[in-house]
Amino acid sequence: MNLLLMFLLFAAPTASDITLRLSRWKPVDMPYDSSGLSARQRQLVDKLVQASRLIESIYWQQSDPEGLALYRSTKDQNLRRLLMINGGRFDLIDENKPFTGSQPIPPGRNLYPAGLTRAQIEAYVKSHPDQKDSIYSSYTVLRWNGQKLDAIPYHVEYRSFLEPASKLLREAADASDDKEFADFLRLRAQALLSDDYYPSDLAWLDLKNPKIDIIFAPYETYLDDMLGIKTSFESALLIRNEAESAKLALYQKYVPDIQDALPLPAADRPSKRGHLTPMEVMDAPFRTGDLLHGYQAVADNLPNDPRIHQAKGSKKIFFKNFMDARVNYVVLPLSKYLMPEQQSARASAEGYLAATVLHEICHGLGPVYSRMNGKEMDIREAIGPVYSALEEAKADVVGMFGLQWLVDHGALPKNRLQEYYASYVAGIFRTLRYGTAEAHGRAEMMEFNYLVEQKAVTRSGSRYAVNFEVIPGAIAQVAKELLEIEATGARARAEAWFNRYDKMPSTLAETLRSIKDVPVDVEPKYSFPVMDLR
Ligand SMILES: [Zn+2]
């Protein structure tokens, strides 16, 4: 037997390893309740579900086509389930380790040629400056063509999926009695075939309290650990939760005041007055692509395009059914192990919702561009690969800064403050169980280590207590640091900050490992099949 064959045999997944990895996920039904919908609305939903399945197919092409082939060919139901949870062969909640085969995760997934390095891309662009824009585009994949590096537009690379998806969106538009939503769907159908999402994103932000809405675009850069710029496709079908949407009005009223209160020079916190800040609390009975695999988002802030942020702001979406599942099955059970009893009892679904609402609001606050040598630069580009973690951390700590501000200014009752902080810290423990490879985990590890260093969180045995006197000042300090890093595009400062604070302390790792009976996250079970498996 040759060495390579031996290596491959030993790297094959074992049944017990797969079972162990699966045990971290709690299957939870995410039912589609069509009782409040008209026949035409149900028809509309049906078209959007079909289109969302095509988004799922594109995602696998971007993430791990070999994983998809394995998903289609294997008879092992447990392996199939684990592949679907992760959208590939790499465990997103275990430092991206491969759970089948021995190939480590490619940093650029299938968005870049295998083996290509960041240094090679930079050298290539230096000698081919005319290709710089297309190579650094968020909507191209890179492929070798002999000695030439081709940047292939998404609408070309994924045409076989995007053309039928575009058609389905137009058919959905025909079934919609909401004229603005129908107009948006037609614009988005065009965008899929041109990679120009700007006009349809503007139309999406103009929707006024739609009963049915959809996220349907390449938005996030979580798959791209090479340059941190290539987007992956995602979809979420959304049905409005009327009662909960109404409760958001209070936060919306104060968004401009929180922006004005940030510890930054005025030029780095452009006024939010008069800007649209649409928010929707929605139930999501179907999500695909980047919104299906791994980490289950309970909220989103979109689009990411800074031109849209400056022109119109962004839309915050809270996935109510996912929020409820997370708090009930993960956050509250976990906090009982990690916090003193009287503090874990303070953590609550409402406190968690408040922190999450502010997190999403604060993705849209702070600087819009980095100012470097008098020039405006895209923050994502200025900061590089650590940007995703930096931006998640900024949203967390500026969010808590904002909650404190709302209490200090009488907009929220003072007696809720401890509940907000306890819920925020309980939420950190949940995120850290994912490890620190993913942007949110790396962000919250940094926040937690900083809070412990500042004695805003203190350890006693295996439990961690919030010091309610100290935490407001510590949060204000770290918020200022992260906002300044973004405003000045300080890549080296960002990397140094994360290098100092983003390591998991062994004591905490041990405590987290010892908790076996709380799932790491929920695995959504939809009323609709996720993939066409022919
Ligand atoms: Zn976020």
Q: Are 82 and 93 in contact (CB under 8 A)?
A: no
What is the 483 CA–ligand 1 centroid distance (Å)?
15
Tens digits of residue pLDDT in 215-241: 999 999 999 999 999 999 999 999 998
Q: What is the rounded average pLDDT for all residues in the chain? A: 93
Average pLDDT over residues 415-420: 95
Task: Please report, rounded to a whole number, the percentage of residues in the chain having pLDDT higher than 70.
Answer: 96
CA–CA dist 277, 368 (Å, integer):
15
What is the 392 CA–ligand 1 centroid distance (Å)?
5
Q: What is the CA radius of gyration of the chain?
A: 23
What is the 514 CA–ligand 1 centroid distance (Å)?
28
What is the 502 CA–ligand 1 centroid distance (Å)?
17
CA–CA dist 520, 23 (Å, integer):
9
What is the 443 CA–ligand 1 centroid distance (Å)?
10
CA–CA dist 494, 387 (Å, integer):
8
Average pLDDT over residues 171-186: 98
* Beta bridge pairs of residue 465: 458
Average pLDDT over residues 8-37: 86
What is the 388 CA–ligand 1 centroid distance (Å)?
9
CA–CA dist 65, 69 (Å, integer):
6
What secondary structure letter does DSSP report for 103?
P
Closest CA to 197 of 143, 132, 137, 141: 137
What is the 446 CA–ligand 1 centroid distance (Å)?
15
Please write down the HEC assignment for all residues of 251-293: HHHHHHHHHHHCCCCHHHCCCCCCCECCEEEEEEEEEEECCCC
Closest CA to 443 of 492, 392, 501, 506: 392
What is the 360 CA–ligand 1 centroid distance (Å)?
6
What is the 259 CA–ligand 1 centroid distance (Å)?
17
Tens digits of residue pLDDT in 278-327: 889 899 999 999 999 998 999 898 999 989 988 888 898 999 999 989 98
Per-residue pLDDT, 534: 41
- Residues 6 or more apart whose Cβ sits within 8 Å of residue 410: none
Lowest-pLDDT range of 54-58, 152-156, 309-313: 309-313
CA–CA dist 232, 93 (Å, integer):
19
CA–CA dist 113, 142 (Å, integer):
6
What is the 156 CA–ligand 1 centroid distance (Å)?
30
CA–CA dist 285, 221 (Å, integer):
24
What is the 300 CA–ligand 1 centroid distance (Å)?
7
What is the 220 CA–ligand 1 centroid distance (Å)?
11
CA–CA dist 154, 55 (Å, integer):
12
What is the 534 CA–ligand 1 centroid distance (Å)?
35
Apex CA 488: angle with CA 484 and CA 493, to 5°?
70
Confidence band (pLDDT; 50, 70, 90) for 247?
low
What is the 290 CA–ligand 1 centroid distance (Å)?
14
What is the 422 CA–ligand 1 centroid distance (Å)?
19
CA–CA dist 193, 191 (Å, integer):
5
Tens digits of residue pLDDT in 94-110: 889 999 999 999 999 99
pTM strictly above 0.85:
no
Q: Are 320 and 269 in contact (CB under 8 A)?
A: no
What is the 363 CA–ligand 1 centroid distance (Å)?
7
Q: What is the DSSP string of 426-456?
A: HHHHHHHTT-SSSHHHHHHHHHHHHHHHTTS
Per-residue pLDDT, 275: 66
How many residues make up the chain in this entry? 534
Closest CA to 320 of 386, 374, 248: 248
Q: Are 301 and 205 in contact (CB under 8 A)?
A: no
What is the 35 CA–ligand 1 centroid distance (Å)?
32
In 10 A of CB 510, how many CB atoms?
Answer: 11
Closest CA to 418 of 361, 354, 511: 354
User: What are 257's two structure tokens?
Assistant: 């005041």
What is the 86 CA–ligand 1 centroid distance (Å)?
19
Does 22 score more than 80 pLDDT? Answer: yes
What is the 89 CA–ligand 1 centroid distance (Å)?
25
What is the 7 CA–ligand 1 centroid distance (Å)?
39
Strands 375-377 and 370-372: antiparallel
What is the 255 CA–ligand 1 centroid distance (Å)?
17
Q: From residue 295, give the alpha-carbon distance in Å to each of 257, 322, 325, 368, 433.
A: 32, 11, 13, 26, 11
87, amino acid identity: G
